[in-house]
Chains A and B, each alone.
Chain A
Amino acid sequence: MINNKNMLEIQNPTIYMGNELNQVNKEVSSGMIRCAFCFPEVYEIGMSYLGMKILYNILNMRQDTYCERVFAPKLDMEEMMRKNSIELYGLESKDSIRNFDFVTFTLQYELTYTNILNMLDLAKISIFAKDRSGDMPFVFAGGPCAYNPEPLAEFLDFFVLGEGEEVLLEVLDEYKEWKKTKGNREDFLKQIDKIQGIYVPSLYEVEYNEDGTINTFKRKDGKNINVKKRIIKDLDKAIFPTSPVVPYSKIVHDRIMLEVFRGCIRGCRFCQAGYVYRPVREKSVDRLVELAKESIQNTGYNEISLTSLSTSDYTCFYELTNRLLEEMEDKKVSISLPSLRIDSIKPELLEQIKSIKKSGLTYAPEAGTQRLRDVINKNVTEDNILDACKITFEKGWNTVKLYFMIGLPTETFDDIDGIISIANKVVGLYHKINKGKKSRLNVTVSVSTFVPKPFTAFQWVGQDDNELINEKIEYLKRKLTNREISFHWNNFNTSFLEAIIARGDRRIGNAIYEAWKLGCKFDGSENGLDFDKWERAFEISNIDPKWYAKRERDIQEILPWEFINLGVTKKFLISEYNKALNEQTTPNCRLKCSGCGMSEFKGGACFESKI
Chain B
Amino acid sequence: MKVRFKYEKNEQVKYVGHLDVMSMFDRVFRRCDIKLKFSQGFTQRSQIIFALPSSVGVISKCEYFEVEIPQIQQKDIQCIVEKLNKNLPNGFFIIDAYEVSEVSSIMSLVESAKYEMHIKLSEQDIPKVNNLFNEEKIFVKRLAKNGIEYDMNIRPYIIDANIEKKEQGVIIYIQLKSGSKENLKPDYIIQALQNYSINIIDYQIIKTNVLLSK
A249 within 8 A of partner (CB): yes
In the complex the two chains form, what is the Cα distance from A18 to B87 in whole Å?
Answer: 16
B203 within 8 A of partner (CB): yes
A1-47, CB < 8 A from B: 3-8, 13-14, 17-23, 25
* Residue pair B20, A302 in contact (C-beta under 8 Å): no
A301 within 8 A of partner (CB): yes
When distances are taken between beta carbons in the complex, the residues of chain A under 8 Å from B166 are: none
* Residue pair B89, A23 in contact (C-beta under 8 Å): yes
B132 within 8 A of partner (CB): no
* Residue pair B27, A5 in contact (C-beta under 8 Å): no
Provide the main secondary structure of the chain B interface: mixed
Q: In this complex, what residue of B is CB-closest to A23?
A: B89
Interface residues on B, range: 20 to 34
Q: In this complex, what residue of A is CB-closest to B20?
A: A248
In the complex the two chains form, what is the Cα distance from A7 to B28 in whole Å?
Answer: 27
Min CB gap B164→A, angstroms: 19
Q: In this complex, what residue of A is CB-closest to B19?
A: A249
A276-315, CB < 8 A from B: 296-302
A332 within 8 A of partner (CB): yes
In the complex the two chains form, what is the Cα distance from A4 to B169 in whole Å?
Answer: 15
**Assuming the A-B contacts A4-B204, A8-B56, A332-B44, are A302 and B30 also in contact, with contact meaning beta carbons closer than 8 angstroms in the complex?**
yes
B127 within 8 A of partner (CB): no
* Residue pair B200, A249 in contact (C-beta under 8 Å): no
Q: In this complex, what residue of B is CB-closest to A13?
A: B15
Name the contact of A7 in the complex, choosing from B15, B17, B31, B87 (C-beta under 8 A).
B15
When distances are taken between beta carbons in the complex, the residues of chain A under 8 Å from B44 are: 332
**Assuming the A-B contacts A5-B202, A300-B27, A300-B29, are A25 and B90 also in contact, with contact meaning beta carbons closer than 8 angstroms in the complex?**
yes
Name the contact of A246 in the complex, choosing from B17, B27, B56 (C-beta under 8 A).
B27
* Residue pair A14, B15 in contact (C-beta under 8 Å): yes
In the complex the two chains form, what is the Cα distance from A4 to B28 in whole Å?
Answer: 27
In the complex the two chains form, what is the Cα distance from A249 to B17 in whole Å?
Answer: 8
* Residue pair B30, A19 in contact (C-beta under 8 Å): no
* Residue pair A19, B20 in contact (C-beta under 8 Å): no
B1-29, CB < 8 A from A: 12-17, 20-21, 23-24, 26-29
Name the contact of B31 in the complex, choosing from A3, A6, A18, A300 (C-beta under 8 A).
A300
Name the contact of B17 in the complex, choosing from A5, A14, A19 (C-beta under 8 A).
A14
In the complex the two chains form, what is the Cα distance from A532 to B90 in whole Å?
Answer: 46
* Residue pair B89, A19 in contact (C-beta under 8 Å): yes
When distances are taken between beta carbons in the complex, the residues of chain A under 8 Å from B28 are: 21, 300
* Residue pair B57, A8 in contact (C-beta under 8 Å): yes
Min CB gap B141→A, angstroms: 17
When distances are taken between beta carbons in the complex, the residues of chain A under 8 Å from B33 are: 297
B148 within 8 A of partner (CB): no
Name the contact of A4 in the complex, choosing from B13, B16, B90, B203 (C-beta under 8 A).
B203
* Residue pair A249, B20 in contact (C-beta under 8 Å): yes
**Assuming the A-B contacts A4-B202, A21-B24, are A248 and B16 also in contact, with contact meaning beta carbons closer than 8 angstroms in the complex?**
yes
Contacts from B to A (Cβ < 8 Å): 12-17, 20-21, 23-24, 26-31, 33, 38, 44, 56-57, 87-91, 200-204
30 inter-chain pairs at a CB distance below 8 angstroms, sorted by A residue, are: A3-B202, A4-B57, A4-B202, A7-B57, A8-B57, A13-B56, A13-B57, A14-B15, A17-B13, A18-B12, A19-B12, A19-B13, A19-B89, A21-B24, A21-B27, A21-B31, A21-B87, A21-B88, A22-B89, A23-B90, A25-B90, A248-B16, A297-B33, A299-B27, A300-B26, A300-B28, A300-B30, A331-B30, A332-B38, A332-B44
Q: What 10 new A-B contacts, CB under 8 Å, besides A3-B202, A13-B56, A17-B15?
A: A4-B203, A8-B57, A13-B57, A19-B13, A19-B89, A20-B89, A21-B89, A22-B89, A248-B23, A300-B28
